């Protein structure tokens, strides 16, 4: 995803806890002021807001769908549990919200990157897999030495189907996750300075559990190169894996049915 610019803001009104029902869509003063400024922005853009005061906006995206997804995520990232969910107010400067909308009170809220609430919002991705550490280690060594290239790695449709469109997230105080798209993906990790983001152009998984991500680069464009990990097991959404650089050191993770890059609600 390429974004030329993203702007976000939030302000909470007096209705900190609200019931579900209907809302006559009217922007409060801060939302209205932000929307007026937002209308001057170029490129594909979107504006989202909540009846309880939060809002999020985006612009400069490649498609309206990308802009809408990001605006909703920004809006939800400023919500609190038990508030009413955000709606999309406008896309590309045109209002799409009807005059009156049904509202939904949020019961669970995920904000990147908080592993504690992720499973409650996205749900766990079910499916079983068992890797072969000895063979995966040999594959990783052959790839690292140049004995075989990525086209020489045998692919596992089964493991790739388990990972595609899902997020593999660790369960630590400073979690990270890998998002696997149809082709490429991202790694997001929490650090003391914020969230570190890197991207990979493509990825494959082998029958032995080796998962390699190719042509990775940081969010600022600096290259990282190729990286591989080994998935030892997947069972009922629970994952054990290791980076091939330290394959004897196992980590616990969860496989989520969703895109953990963005704030989400249930």
- With helix as H, strand as E and coil as C, how does 101-118 read? EEECECCCEECCCCHHHH
Q: What are the tokens at 124?
A: 């766990």
Element (H, E) at 74: helix 64-76
Percentage, residues of the chain above pLDDT 90: 85
CATH 1.20.120 assigned to 116-265: no
pLDDT band of 10, cuts 50, 70, 90: low
Task: Locate the domains of the chain by residue range.
Answer: 3-105, 116-265
Looking at residue 3, its pLDDT comes to 43
pLDDT (tens digit per residue) in 45-72: 999 999 999 999 999 999 999 999 999 9
Summarize the confidence of residues 184-198 as an average pLDDT: 91
What are the E-state strand segments in 44-128? 44-49, 54-61, 87-91, 94-95, 100-103, 109-110
d(C-alpha 135, C-alpha 128), whole Å: 19
pTM, entire model: 0.87
pLDDT band of 194, cuts 50, 70, 90: confident
pLDDT (tens digit per residue) in 90-145: 999 999 999 999 999 999 999 999 898 999 999 999 999 999 999 999 999 999 99
């Amino acid at each position: 995803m390429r974004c030329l610019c993203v702007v976000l803001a939030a302000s909470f009104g007096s209705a900190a806890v609200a019931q579900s029902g209907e809302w006559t869509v009217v922007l409060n003063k801060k939302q209205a002021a932000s929307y007026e400024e937002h209308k001057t922005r170029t490129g594909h853009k979107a504006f989202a807001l909540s009846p309880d005061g939060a809002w999020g906006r985006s612009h400069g995206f490649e498609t309206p769908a990308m802009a809408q997804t990001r605006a909703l995520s920004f809006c939800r990232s400023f919500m609190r549990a038990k508030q009413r969910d955000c709606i999309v107010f406008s896309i590309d400067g045109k209002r799409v919200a009807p005059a009156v909308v049904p509202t939904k009170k949020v019961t669970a809220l995920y904000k990147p990157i908080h592993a504690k609430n992720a499973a409650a919002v996205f749900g766990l991705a079910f499916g079983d897999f068992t890797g072969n550490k000895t063979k995966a280690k040999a594959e990783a060594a052959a790839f690292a030495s140049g004995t075989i290239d990525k086209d020489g790695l045998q692919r596992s449709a089964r493991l790739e189907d388990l990972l595609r469109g899902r997020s593999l997230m660790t369960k630590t105080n400073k979690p990270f996750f890998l998002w696997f798209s149809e082709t490429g993906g991202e790694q997001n990790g929490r650090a003391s300075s914020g969230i570190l983001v890197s991207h990979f152009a493509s990825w494959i998984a082998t029958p032995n559990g080796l998962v390699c991500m190719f042509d990775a680069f940081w969010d600022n464009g600096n290259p990282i190169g190729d990286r591989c990990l080994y998935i030892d097991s997947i069972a009922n959404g629970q994952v054990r894996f290791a980076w091939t650089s330290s394959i004897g050191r196992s980590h616990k993770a969860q496989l989520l049915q969703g895109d953990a890059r963005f704030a989400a609600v249930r």
